[in-house]
Chain A
């Protein structure tokens, strides 16, 4: 049976169409989810796409966190059962929702950064990174103004100790992120937040590589295994 992967559209989402396309290219059926409906439509996994949800008023992701769809998504994600990938603004929403620790703040350079960015995958054991190998370098677009990851010292130490840094910027951090962090995961490893955009690197025609496709094929492989994530990871 084809896996169904939901893509949430908030007012101000930009990359929902590309995310849905990436899901399709990976071999799954994309399902449009609406921020205002408290209904996940029975999907097997969810992508929170990039953009500027609710205009990013107050703080990035701060209003989106309280959208009706999130009342369904948050408990399912927290339980470890529902795989969720938050990209860029989606990462910010996951942090504001406390599904992931820390916060994303303004780039230290004060400039919006838009470029193809080399990343090193550090954790290949999450629901979204099983298709990669640990240490693999991938090239995908980065485009954000508030991508600087910050967390308290204890939280940062815990992320490092538990191998929950999913990807790091290679060479130097383009935005001032602590420990060059580009993405992290939760304790069940079903929720992943990533600042760069894998959905823009799934086809040679439009992307700098097809390195981003692995995030989407990873979750399909995980779903095909059929093992509940929480049980599989303890």
Chain B
């Protein structure tokens, strides 16, 4: 069994109100040095067998189609 991690982040130019809320909380909680937080999503995709090139291409397609919206998000893929 192979596990592929897909990290999805809002593109840098897209406003991240959730990240901003977290920065606000950091200040109140006594972490004043935190200047920016960007919140993203992590998907753990488990596959049958080895994660060969063909399977990774499938996961990449899955990420483009469903897991991320390429209009506003970027994603990265890695085998764990």
Whole-angstrom distance from the CB of A70 to the nearest CB of chain B? Answer: 13
Residue interface mask B9-52, A partner, CB < 8 A = 1: 01000110110110000000000000000000000000000000
B18 touches A103 (CB 8 A): no
Which of B10, B18, B20, B69 contacts A96 (CB under 8 A)? B69
Whole-angstrom distance from the CB of A142 to the nearest CB of chain B? Answer: 17
Q: Which 10 A-B pairs have the closest CB atoms?
A: A110-B17, A103-B71, A103-B72, A106-B17, A110-B21, A103-B69, A59-B69, A108-B17, A108-B15, A150-B14
Instruction: A108 to B10: give the CA distance in the assembly, Å.
Output: 14
Is B5's beta carbon under 8 Å from chain A? Answer: no
How many of chain A's residues touch chain B, expressed as a range?
A: 20 to 34
How many of chain B's residues touch chain A, expressed as a range?
A: 10 to 19
SS class, residues of chain A in contact with chain B: loop
Binding site for A on B (CB under 8 A): 10, 14-15, 17-18, 20-21, 66-67, 69, 71-72
A-B contact pairs, 22 of them (CB 8 A): A62-B66, A62-B69, A95-B71, A96-B69, A101-B71, A102-B71, A103-B71, A105-B10, A105-B14, A105-B15, A105-B72, A106-B17, A108-B15, A108-B17, A109-B17, A110-B20, A148-B15, A150-B14, A150-B71, A150-B72, A151-B71, A152-B71
Residue interface mask A126-170, B partner, CB < 8 A = 1: 000000000000000000000010111000000000000000000
Whole-angstrom distance from the CB of B79 to the nearest CB of chain A? Answer: 22
Q: Whose C-beta in chain B lies nearest to the C-beta of A111?
A: B17
Instruction: A95 to B73: give the CA distance in the assembly, Å.
Output: 14
Which of B18, B66, B67 contacts A106 (CB under 8 A)? B18
Instruction: A176 to B71: give the CA distance in the assembly, Å.
Output: 17
A110 touches B69 (CB 8 A): no
